[in-house]
């Protein structure tokens, strides 16, 4: 549901299933592709919180390939920060699925043994090095580590780094190059 004020869209609420009527007008159904295209085109023009909610709504849509639009948003430093961060986050989630061949839910359910726990702590430590000094090692882990969970953690921290090399990796993983 879009909120308009003085002819401008100023807010966004999303619903899964039937929406509770807030006095709005239901304009009918649209395809998933049309909805995600619209939301991702709208996101950079909305105030921060609303823009990030538009990205979220597009990201949870079923059967839509949105990573190219997310990549465009993640590379655009001129959009509101919350929208930029949301695009980068969801792009990283898609990249981790592409890199590991496993759904996010499957990876989230993995139980860490002691060795895996030490490795995830090492990945975190790399992410905390100043001036993004750990990014080259994180890129290597994301590309080549044998454990999917460790690759996922590296990809997550790369997404948090704000480093353009992370976005390049995400594009490589998602495009299959």
Structure tokens at 36: 């995600």
Average pLDDT over residues 89-99: 95
Decide which of 51 and 14 is more confident: 51
- Quick check: 35 and 59 in contact, CB under 8 A? no
Total Cβ atoms within 10 A of residue 106: 13
Decide which of 42 and 15 is more confident: 42
Residue holding tokens 């590296």? 154
Residue holding tokens 């619209």? 38
Average pLDDT over residues 107-128: 84
Structure tokens at 69: 């639009």
Structure tokens at 108: 């989230």
């Amino acid at each position: 549901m879009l909120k308009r004020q003085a002819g401008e869209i100023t807010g966004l609420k999303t619903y899964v299933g039937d929406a509770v009527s807030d006095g709005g007008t239901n304009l009918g159904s649209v395809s998933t592709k049309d909805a995600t295209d619209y939301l991702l085109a709208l996101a950079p023009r909305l105030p921060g919180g609303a823009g990030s909610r538009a990205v979220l709504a597009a990201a949870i849509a079923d059967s839509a390939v949105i990573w190219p639009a997310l990549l465009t948003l993640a590379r655009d430093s001129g959009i509101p920060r919350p929208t930029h961060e949301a695009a980068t986050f969801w792009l990283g989630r898609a990249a981790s699925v592409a890199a590991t061949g496993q759904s996010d839910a499957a990876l989230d359910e993995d139980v860490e043994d002691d060795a895996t726990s030490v490795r995830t702590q090492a990945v975190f430590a790399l992410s905390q090095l100043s001036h993004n000094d750990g990014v080259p090692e994180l890129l290597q882990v994301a590309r080549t580590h044998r454990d999917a969970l460790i690759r996922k953690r590296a990809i997550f921290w790369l997404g948090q780094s704000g480093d353009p090399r992370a976005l390049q990796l995400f594009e490589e993983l998602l495009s299959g190059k």
